[in-house]
Amino acid sequence: MSRPQLAHGSLTSLAAALTLLTTGCAEKGEGTQVAADACRAAGGWSAEKRAEWLRTSVSFPDEAAAEDAAVVIGSHTGEPLCEPIAVQVQFWEATATRAGTDLRSVLRIRLNTDGSRSRTIGFPAGLSPAERDDCTGVLMAAYPGVPLTQTELPAAAPRLTPASTTADIPFGTTRVAAQRLLPPTSACGTPAEPTPNPWGSDHP
């Protein structure tokens, strides 16, 4: 082979290599091509759009099957985000009383996620299934962005029952991606019914 032919072959190989680099493709598997370093831009997304993206990643494991896992932010299907977004996971203690239900925020965790890996958040101290008493429940929520403002917090709830659902404690915003209520099973501080006096109030 002559020198001009060798030079031409070298230039052809170099051009092919540059083509692969500039197109951002790499071989994977049996002849398939996938985009290298592909990601999804979310810089211009609204809070509602971020909540929509987050919603498909949030799950609440069965507390009987996994007592330590309260909320799981799973890996997202499809391309990860080019830049991670801030996610808040918040817990409220829900105490049932005769008058209604008292909600008290007990823990809020901020994390960043781009959807490429799973994150597991456990119950706050004292609110795991083994630690709660019958009159104490838990409200959990996951949402993107900054902490909820006063007007976005869940509304005051009526008396909760074992059949209560998340619909019984609405939030004042649409950016809450997912929520779950583990309701109390009885009211706290319920006094015993007095025993009626069969003799009347004048009897000694």
Q: Which pLDDT band holds residue 202 (cuts at 50, 70, 90)?
A: low
Residue 83 has pLDDT above 60, yes or no: yes
Separation between Cα atoms, residue 109 and residue 78, nearest integer Å: 25
Predicted confidence at residue 14, as pLDDT, reads: 45
User: Region 56-81: what's the mean pLDDT?
Assistant: 81
pTM value > 0.75: no
Residue 39 has pLDDT above 60, yes or no: yes
Predicted confidence at residue 68, as pLDDT, reads: 66
pLDDT above 70: percentage of residues in the chain: 70
Helix (H, G, I), strand (E, B) or coil at 40: strand
Separation between Cα atoms, residue 91 and residue 183, nearest integer Å: 13
Most confident range, picked from 10-14, 68-72, 140-144, 188-192: 140-144
Separation between Cα atoms, residue 140 and residue 163, nearest integer Å: 17
Of 152, 148, 105, nearest in space to 127 by CA = 105
First to last CA, the chain: 127
Domain 47-182 class, CATH top level = mainly beta
Residue 97 has pLDDT above 90, yes or no: no
Predicted confidence at residue 161, as pLDDT, reads: 76
Lowest mean pLDDT among 31-35, 114-118, 152-156, 190-194: 31-35
Domain residue extents for the chain: 47-182
- pLDDT: which is higher, 174 or 201: 174
